[in-house]
């Protein structure tokens, strides 16, 4: 079966308020299906609040590295950071999320697929978390050559790849009508000084597929308040209210790092 128009949500990071706002927005846009590309938990408060929203909206989910870790109760999130400070904060987030995800929801995460392949219009679309070859691979816009993306499309026999994981939306048109898109994340802002978060619409109804990045405004002050009340680090709350990343910075290439203030 071929789909016409779909919504792709990147990492939710337990941001149930942004998910509610995004779903309300999607409701008005007439999409054939909604997909989440993984990392349902992390960073935010009350991880279990995500699951009823997903089930009620019929969202098909992939298993991100976080979901694999929580589902299998591993020791860390497998995000792939290399810096001690980044890992310190990642561990606080992970320990909180694991402790607050129910047994039933862990089982749900455990059973999610790693990838989904579907037809969008007349194109073959591969949905994945980090990259088609590695769940926790960071594909940044400034450090990923176009011919590399083309080769990955060819290796995985698809015309379009949609991924998330790195937390900043971007797209690249590839030779031969192919496309790569990072759909962004709903979980936290994009290190641009704005509190909004993003999801992506993919439209295959025309000869050339259309990719539209959609900003989502939500009650970020409430989220920050709840994070604080839950004892999550002040640095995380600062990110939510300022739009600037305060942690997990060392993994950023210089172009993406320079765009932020920390």
Q: Could you list the residues that contact other proteins (CB under 8 A)?
A: 65, 78, 80, 82-84, 114, 133-136, 141-148, 150-152, 155, 250-251, 253-255, 257-258, 262
To the nearest whole angstrom, how small is the minimum distance from the Cβ of residue 257 to other proteins?
Answer: 6
Distance CA 213, CA 208 (A): 16
Nearer Cβ to other proteins (144/195)? 144
Distance CA 161, CA 145 (A): 15
List the structure tokens of 5.
């128009």
Distance CA 127, CA 141 (A): 18
Nearer Cβ to other proteins (107/155)? 155
Nearer Cβ to other proteins (52/175)? 175
To the nearest whole angstrom, how small is the minimum distance from the Cβ of residue 149 to other proteins?
Answer: 8
Distance CA 226, CA 213 (A): 28
To the nearest whole angstrom, how small is the minimum distance from the Cβ of residue 166 to other proteins?
Answer: 14
Nearer Cβ to other proteins (3/139)? 139
Distance CA 135, CA 128 (A): 7
To the nearest whole angstrom, how small is the minimum distance from the Cβ of residue 255 to other proteins?
Answer: 5
Cβ-based neighbours of 134, under 8 Å, separated by 6 or more: none
Going by the DSSP 8-state scheme, the letter that residue 220 receives in this structure is H
Nearer Cβ to other proteins (51/244)? 244
To the nearest whole angstrom, how small is the minimum distance from the Cβ of residue 147 to other proteins?
Answer: 5
Q: Is 177 helix (H, G, I), strand (E, B) or coil?
A: helix
**What is the bridge-based pairing of β-strands 5-9 and 197-203?**
antiparallel
């Amino acid at each position: 079966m071929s789909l016409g128009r779909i919504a792709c949500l990147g990492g939710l990071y337990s941001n149930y308020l942004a998910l509610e706002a995004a779903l309300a927005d999607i409701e008005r846009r007439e999409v054939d299906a909604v997909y989440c590309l993984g990392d349902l938990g992390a960073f935010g408060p009350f991880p279990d609040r995500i699951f009823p929203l997903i089930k009620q909206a019929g969202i098909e989910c992939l298993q991100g590295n976080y979901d694999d870790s929580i589902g299998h109760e591993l020791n860390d999130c497998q995000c792939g950071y290399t810096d001690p400070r980044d890992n310190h904060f990642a561990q606080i987030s992970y320990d909180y999320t694991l402790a607050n995800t129910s047994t039933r929801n862990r089982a749900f995460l455990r059973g999610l697929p790693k990838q989904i392949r579907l037809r969008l219009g007349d194109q073959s679309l591969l949905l994945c978390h980090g990259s088609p070859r590695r769940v926790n691979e960071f594909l940044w816009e400034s450090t990923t050559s176009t011919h590399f993306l083309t080769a990955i499309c060819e290796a995985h026999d698809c015309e379009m790849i949609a991924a998330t994981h790195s937390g900043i939306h971007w797209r690249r048109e590839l030779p031969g009508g192919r496309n790569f898109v990072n759909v962004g994340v709903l979980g936290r802002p994009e290190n641009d000084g704005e509190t909004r978060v993003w999801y992506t619409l993919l439209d295959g109804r025309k000869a050339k597929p259309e990719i539209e990045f959609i900003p989502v405004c939500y009650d970020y002050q409430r989220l920050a308040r709840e994070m604080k009340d839950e004892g999550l680090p002040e640095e995380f709350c600062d990110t939510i209210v300022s739009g600037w990343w305060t942690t997990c910075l060392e993994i950023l290439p210089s172009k993406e790092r320079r765009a932020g203030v920390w």
